[in-house]
Amino acid sequence: MSLELFSQYIFAGITYGIIYAIVAIGFNIIYNTTGIINFAQGEFVMLGGMTAISLNHFLPLPLAIISAVLFTMLMGGLIEIVFIRWLQKPSVLRLIIITIGISILSREAALHVWGDSVRALPYFTGNVVSSVDILGASISPQVLWVLAICYCLVIILSLFFKFTPLGREMQACAANRLAATLCGINAKNMVTFSFMLSAAIGAVAGCVVSPITSSQYDMGTGLAIKGFTVAVLGGLGNSMAAVAAGLLLGIIEAFSVGIGFPLAFQDAIAISILLIILFVRPHGLFGNKEAAGLKEF
């Protein structure tokens, strides 16, 4: 394998990997504050991309994307308020089924609003054929956009959780909900915020990746599974590890295509990794076994 080909695969892997990582962080944010795995996480990505595409017909691209992100954020909050907020001590099984139902409903709603055609946002700069040479590999400028925006997002998120009052309140809820409530934090609002936040970052991912992978009403499930794989691979709840795990999965997938692994089974790789990691190391590659022992697997 030549250096050009090698760096080509690396870049392809990183692009997909960072998207998986963003979806995984979405899972983590909600999981940390509520202990719920939101099976509708992939639908936020779809919703963000599709809304931006529709808005782009009469709004300039940056404005369309910002509105789409805000819209998805609103939907995320709304979903939490309507379906989850008022439940009293719901069982895990019940929450799983509810979020699966939400995922189906969003998908079907998208099907009826947008139809089953494949759409895409225009490239942020340049077009399909424009490319930049890096280490001998031809990279679409969009890939650089994806990388730049997603890395900024990860950094902003970690700063948000470390330094802003709201972020710290959310962290407090994640660490110990009862103690946080006793300190005067409204835990229920934090849950709503966490849904809004993870919907928003899902929507950002949906927008930046749309020119490369296109958007379709049913893209959510596949992304959700891979995002979950990455979240578990990194250790559920650990966002920085999710980024590393996301890049790992992305690169594995890219190279599996490179060595001639059939494309049709590409999804099977991620799922096999998920199954293996669940069976062998459910606390994740970077997770702490003792800390994980306190969680319900």
Contact 275, 288 (CB under 8 A): no
Residue 294 to residue 147: CA distance in whole angstroms: 35
Identify which range of 65-73, 101-109, 184-192, 250-258 contacts another protein by CB under 8 A: 101-109
102 lies in the site for another protein, by CB under 8 A = yes
**Is 94 a binder of another protein (CB under 8 A)?**
yes
- CB of residue 201 to another protein, shortest distance in Å: 20
Task: CB nearer to another protein: give 10 or 223.
Answer: 223
Count CA atoms closer than 13 A to 290's CA, side-chain side.
0
Lay out the site mask for another protein across 162-191 (x = CB under 8 A, - = otherwise): ------------------------------
How many binding residues for another protein (CB under 8 A)? Answer: 41
Q: How far apart are alpha carbons 201 and 192 in whole angstroms?
A: 14
**Chain-centroid distance, C-alpha 18:** 9
How far apart (Å, rounded) are the C-alpha atoms in residues 194 and 77? 8
**100 touching another protein, by CB under 8 A:** yes
Separation between Cα atoms, residue 69 and residue 64, nearest integer Å = 9
Q: Which listed range, 33-41, 57-65, 122-130, 163-171, lies at the site for another protein (CB under 8 A)?
A: 33-41
CA angle 49, 50, 52 (to 5 degrees): 65
Cβ at position 233, least distance to another protein in Å: 12
> What is the smallest separation between the CB atom of 16 and another protein, expressed in angstroms?
17
Does 294 bind another protein (CB under 8 A)? Our answer is no
Q: At a CB cut-off of 8 Å and minimum separation 6, what does 48 contact?
A: 68, 69, 72, 199, 202, 203, 204, 205, 206, 207
Indicate whether 265 belongs to the interface with another protein (CB under 8 A).
yes
Q: Which is nearer to another protein, 105 or 240 (CB)?
A: 105
Q: Measure the CA–CA gap between 84 and 7, rounded to whole angstroms.
A: 45
* Binding-site string for another protein from residue 211 to residue 250, where x marks contact by CB under 8 A and - marks none: ----------x---x--x---x------------------
CA–CA distance from 89 to each of 33, 92, 93, 95, 183 (Å)? 14, 9, 12, 10, 21
Task: Pick the stretch among 85-93, 138-146, 165-173, 183-191 that binds another protein (CB under 8 A).
Answer: 85-93
Nearer to another protein, 4 or 267 (CB): 267
Q: How far is the CB of 27 from another protein (least distance, A)?
A: 10
- The least CB distance from residue 229 to another protein, in Å, is 8
Residue 203 neighbours by CB under 8 Å, 6+ apart:
44, 45, 47, 48, 49, 51, 52, 68, 69, 71, 72, 73
Q: How far is CA 127 from the centre of its chain?
A: 25
As measured in angstroms, the least distance from the Cβ of 217 to another protein is: 11
For the bound state, the minimum distance from the C-beta of residue 98 to another protein, rounded and expressed in Å, comes to: 5
Q: For the stretch 97-123, what's the b/e string if a residue is b when 16 or more beta carbons lie within 10 angstroms of its beta carbon?
A: ebbeebbeebbeebeeebeeeebbbeb
Q: Which residues bind another protein (CB under 8 A)?
A: 36-37, 39, 83, 87, 90-94, 96-98, 100-105, 107-109, 112, 221, 225, 228, 232, 262, 264-265, 267-268, 271-272, 274-275, 278-279, 282, 296-297
